[in-house]
Amino acid sequence: MFVTYPAIFYKNLEEEGYTVVFPDLQGCVTCGKDENESMHMAQDVLGTYLYEFYVDRKPMPSSSDIVNLTTKIDDEDKEYFSQKGSFLSLIGIDLAAYVKKVACKNVKKTLTIPSYLNEMGKNENINFSQVLTDALKAEFDID
């Protein structure tokens, strides 16, 4: 599942780099020492923010149209950010790939199956963990 959200990259006044704000995602903020690091950090914080929505199968927050946004700096923030050098960008992330990368540790599960299936599976050297993993991925439409 690939999602895209607009981000505002505010040029920092006192230090190098940018503060990145996602206006559609309350509290979703990060920073970086230059454009490249800021882009990377923006993608990471976006994945972190949306992780719970993805694993809980909740609807994703709606995304604003970037043409309706501006880099205008509020009066109280003018001491921190410069209008010059600030910019808008779309940040996208493949959430399925992100979740696999950051949360892919195995957990032990105890389950109950009919004894005849257990015997048949053992006779065929079936990896029960792999079968369950594959079935859950199919159920949740995950590659």
pLDDT tens-place string over residues 91-132 = 999 998 888 888 777 778 888 888 889 898 989 999 998 898
Q: Identify the burial level of 9 via C-beta atoms within 10 angstroms of its C-beta, where 0-12 means exposed, 13-18 middle and 19 or more buried.
A: buried
CB 129 within 8 A of CB 42: no
- Quote the CA–CA distance of 45 and 54 in Å, as a whole number: 14
- The answer to whether residue 68 scores a pLDDT higher than 90 is yes
Domain boundary assignment for the chain: 2-102, 106-143
Question: For 46-54, what is the mean pLDDT?
Answer: 94
Model pLDDT, residue 110: 84
Which CATH architecture does the domain made up of 2-102 adopt?
Answer: 2-Layer Sandwich (3.30)
pLDDT tens-place string over residues 4-43 = 999 999 999 988 899 999 999 999 999 999 999 999 999 9
- The answer to whether residue 142 scores a pLDDT higher than 80 is no
Question: For 68-92, what is the mean pLDDT?
Answer: 93
